[in-house]
Structure 1
Amino acid sequence: MKSQEELNRLFWHSRRGMLELDVLLVPFLKEAFNDLSEADQDRYEKLLTCEDQDMFAWFMRKEVPEDPDLARIVDIIVNRVQPD
């Protein structure tokens, strides 16, 4: 379980300044992050270190992350918004 301080830090890192990312990441953090396994929470934190342009391409399904951890968390986020 993350402390409130850690969640606040994640919230500010989830606000990217690109509307397309903000509308995915901020609600995901608020509504789904706490239900993730610790490993998936770590993957989310790793995702936040990536470049906005890369994340945008991944979320729009134009590219797939080479890193399997990043691919997993991208899939979790996208499937939450667009279930199969």
Structure 2
Amino acid sequence: MYGVAHFLKNSKKPEIIPIVVILGGALSGAVYMSVRQARAPDVAWDHKNNPYPWQDIKEGEQVKLFALNQKYDGRWERTKW
């Protein structure tokens, strides 16, 4: 992070700042979505001990990324990695 701050401080062109901000936002959004999708209930990381992780989801648990006008009792959490 020191390199980016040093680059922005020593840069004489202020038009570089929006590019860095937009790229930083896009990269952090991509990392967030990647982590979120890797922890989804239908992703199986351990095929020997838990080959069907989607069967551990109980009725009324929210597993969707975005749900409109739906009431859920609880949110699904991964217990086994």
* TM-score under structure 1 length normalisation: 0.27
| Greater strand fraction, Structure 1 or Structure 2 | 2
| Greater helix fraction, Structure 1 or Structure 2 | 1
